[in-house]
């Protein structure tokens, strides 16, 4: 048999243990191992090695286990809080858009009326109307960006 077939069989043996292989690859591998004693021995050696590694018991420090458990719970709580904040942010955005659409004609009318009463040129009050819409969005984006830049990274959590 060619060396490529043996390499392919060994790659499939390793892949079957880690990520799994397709049914066709599994069928080919089983057929090859029945025909090739060398690859069959390699498969049984691999199975014995993995069994030996799995049987090893590594003593864990109870303090390490407890610290890990606390960090996992802390991170889960942090993610739930972040999800709740994002939900509130989306609701506020939706409400803002609805109120903006409802109030736009009234604002246009008010700015037009004020512009006519105090003789403000039309481009000025039209620009005022646009700023009424743009400035709050820019301020909100700046605040969110600032808060995100100040947020601690995942590796900077306080010791628990």
- Residues of the chain below pLDDT 70: 1-2, 151-160
pTM: 0.39
112 Cα distance to chain centroid: 47
Rounded CA-CA distance 74/84 in Å is 15
Rounded CA-CA distance 121/54 in Å is 81
The per-residue pLDDT for 80 is: 92
> Could you tell me where the DSSP H helices lie in 56-120?
62-117
The per-residue pLDDT for 1 is: 54
Burial class, 151, CB count within 10 angstroms (exposed 0-12 / middle 13-18 / buried 19+): exposed
Burial class, 97, CB count within 10 angstroms (exposed 0-12 / middle 13-18 / buried 19+): exposed
Summary mean pLDDT of the chain: 85
Structure tokens at 38: 């060398």
Structure tokens at 47: 């199975």
The per-residue pLDDT for 97 is: 82
Domain boundaries, the chain: 3-55, 62-156
DSSP 89-101: HHHHHHHHHHHHH
- 100-110 pLDDT, tens digit per residue, is 888 889 988 98
Contact 47, 37 (CB under 8 A): no
Whole-Å CA distances, 80 to 51, 75, 84: 39, 9, 6
């Amino acid at each position: 048999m060619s060396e490529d077939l043996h390499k392919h069989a060994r790659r499939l043996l390793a892949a079957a243990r880690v990520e799994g292989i397709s049914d066709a690859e599994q069928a080919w591998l089983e057929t090859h191992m029945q025909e090739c004693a060398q690859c069959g021995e390699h498969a049984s050696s691999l199975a014995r090695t993995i069994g030996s590694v799995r049987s090893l018991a590594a003593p864990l420090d109870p303090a390490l286990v407890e610290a890990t458990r606390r960090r996992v719970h802390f991170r889960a709580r942090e993610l739930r809080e972040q999800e709740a904040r994002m939900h509130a942010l989306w609701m506020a955005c939706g409400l803002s858009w609805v109120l903006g659409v409802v109030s736009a004609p009234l604002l246009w009318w008010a700015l037009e009326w004020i512009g006519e009463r105090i003789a403000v040129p039309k481009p000025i009050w039209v620009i005022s109307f646009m700023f009424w819409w743009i400035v709050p969005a820019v301020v909100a984006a700046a605040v969110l960006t600032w808060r995100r830049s100040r947020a601690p990274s995942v590796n900077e959590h306080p010791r628990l």
